[in-house]
Amino acid sequence: MEYLADFILFLAKTVTLIGGVVVLVALLTTIGQKARKMHKGHLEITHLNEHYEHLQADLKHALLDKAELKKEAKKQKEKAKLENKARKNEECEEKGKPRVFILNFHGDIKASAVKSLREEITAVLSLADKERDEVVIRLESGGGLVHSYGLAASQLKRIRDKGVKLTVTVDKVAASGGYMMACVANHIVAAPFAVLGSIGVMAQLPNVHRLLKKHDVDIELHTAGEFKRTLTVLGQNTEKGRQKFIQDMEDTHLLFKDFVKSEREVVDINQVSTGEIWYGQKALTLKLIDEISTSDEYIYRRVDEAVLVQVEYVMKKGVADKLGLAAESALDNALMKWWGRFNTSRFFS
């Protein structure tokens, strides 16, 4: 009983601490929401052609002597004259350089970045020309919640459905839910040691029913609906509930496999849907990707032939907003780690 008393005391302290943090977060969030009403989100546009030109110019000024710099300046002046002439000809033909719109997606367990991604895609699709433009998504994600990454993949499908070429580049990882997003693309590019695949589903939870029973602690769980709850942390699990839980995971895995197969018909879905991961070169052999390259290399090779535009949707935040979001994010991450270990929700990774 002493052990049980210590456990209950620890639990009470934990609940008190979490309750205090929740109240603090609620107050800060309320303040932040008032601030957000006055500060709407906006797009930040970066012209990468100019960025690359500045990098090159800085290096030349550091390495070339005066005579070489003078010669280079003359060369650049002639180049600018030719470009202006070409631009005028293009305007007469009502056709300019193709545009490459570059978006960044860094996925957490809830695919939170989809909030910005949906706005960025809406903005890009309002201008993109399906005959000549391209959207490049720099994607990094190890996966997460099924419904969250399902929404993120659906956002990318909007680009495909509009007929605009979609390329996904992966420098580090696009696994599980991350690969679910990537497979929507017309063209997938990955670095040699990027991690791809993990087409599978997982969930886990502990069960402390025997421990509670040993200390004469009863847990009552009432549900309306036979399978409203299949497995629990505190109650006694049944074989019937366990089998239903496994069947739900199998059904989710089947949906995942069907989605990948429909979006990327070249893959042998039975070979790649084992939950395994593969590095870039092996992923190319398995046709999970189309090309080995870093995102920087893929984008920079278009610098002379296309207008490179990086698009990012950001929210303007005040001090209270930042404090509220920081506290909310810290609490959310802690709770999601616990939820991921102990809940029966389905995960892609």
- Residues known to be catalytic: 176, 228
d(Cα 249, Cα 202) in Å, to the nearest integer? 7
Q: Where are the alpha helices (DSSP H) in the chain?
A: 2-38, 48-63, 66-92, 114-125, 146-161, 177-182, 209-214, 239-263, 269-272, 280-285, 295-300, 319-342
d(Cα 180, Cα 107) in Å, to the nearest integer? 12
d(Cα 41, Cα 44) in Å, to the nearest integer? 10
CB within 8 A of 36, min separation 6: which ones?
315, 317, 321
d(Cα 121, Cα 105) in Å, to the nearest integer? 12
198: left (phi over 0), alpha (psi -120 to 50) or beta: left
d(Cα 235, Cα 212) in Å, to the nearest integer? 9
Tokens of 180: 């679910």
Chain centroid offset of residue 310 CA? 17
